[in-house]
Amino acid sequence: MSRKEIIGAPLEIDGQVLSLSRAVRAGDFVFITGQVPMHDGKPMTDGNIEDQTRACLESLQQILAEAGCDLGDVVKSMVWLKKREDFAGFNAVYSEYFPSEPPTRSALVSEFLIDILVEIECVAYKPQ
């Protein structure tokens, strides 16, 4: 099985470049690292859950495109929310991006290393 890194722009948080690949294609699968809401290259620490969810999903779309995929190729997503009560707002925006045949999904409440409300990662399947 072949393995290819999809680099994109390097990620930097608090002046530190992160040691990670934005995505990796392994055979027919594309694994995308967790996307946090970003604005102008910095974590989006303002905005509500809807704004931050939209920012994460827009980043996912961009990385998927770099890998030759789109949201329709996503088969699994993993979501971390800072607050349980944000689920409804998150889910409303998420449903806009996956209106039919959504991928499988796991969602957890978690503490983040930075001051954000949501993080989303996904796995896409698209034969080469």
CA of residue 119 relative to chain centroid, distance: 6
Q: How far apart are the first and last CA of the chain?
A: 11
Segment 10-46, tens digit of pLDDT: 666 667 676 677 889 999 999 999 999 988 878 888 9
Count of structural domains, the chain: 1
* Spatial distance between the Cα atoms of 9 and 7, rounded to a whole number of angstroms: 6
pLDDT at residue 41, as a whole number: 76
CATH of the domain at 96: 3.30.1330.40
Q: Amino acid identity of 52?
A: Q
Segment 65-115, tens digit of pLDDT: 999 999 999 999 999 999 999 999 999 999 999 999 999 999 999 999 889
pLDDT at residue 9, as a whole number: 58
* Spatial distance between the Cα atoms of 57 and 105, rounded to a whole number of angstroms: 14
Q: What is the pTM of this model?
A: 0.88
Closest by CA position to 82, among listed 123, 40, 45: 45
Rounded (10°) CA dihedral 35, 18, 23, 73: 0
CA geometry: angle 70, 71, 73, nearest 5 deg: 75
Write out the residue range of the structural domain in which residue 80 sits: 3-125
Give the pair of three-digit tokens for residue 115.
């001051």
Q: For residue 7, what pLDDT band results from cuts at 50, 70 and 90?
A: low
pLDDT at residue 14, as a whole number: 66
